[in-house]
Homo-oligomer: A and B are copies of this chain.
């Protein structure tokens, strides 16, 4: 039977961010932007949604006077991602 797909993860850019973060200890905004090819605005919005869901932690600091945003996945995020992948498999075998 087909399982439900977590709509927060079933989004290309958010999924991309999660799939990057699951493989590293942390990644900053610039790195995520380059890897995903997303616009800054879009990335900013999607990072926010992932954070509000508790799937990632976001640490905003300054390097000198330039802002620096570092993201890392939470345990909740890891769980949600695993479940999403599992659910996907009911569609793609």
Mark A residues whose CB is within 8 Å of B. 2, 4-5, 7, 10, 12, 15-16, 19-20, 35-36, 85, 88, 90-93
Asked if B15 and A91 sit within 8 Å, CB to CB, the answer is yes
Give the CA-CA distance A77 to B91 in the complex, in Å: 15
Smallest beta-carbon distance A48→chain B, Å: 20
For A88, the chain B residues whose CB sits under 8 A away are: 88, 92
DSSP majority for the A interface?
helix
Give the CA-CA distance A87 to B12 in the complex, in Å: 11
Asked if A19 and B2 sit within 8 Å, CB to CB, the answer is yes
Asked if A35 and B2 sit within 8 Å, CB to CB, the answer is yes
Smallest beta-carbon distance A77→chain B, Å: 14
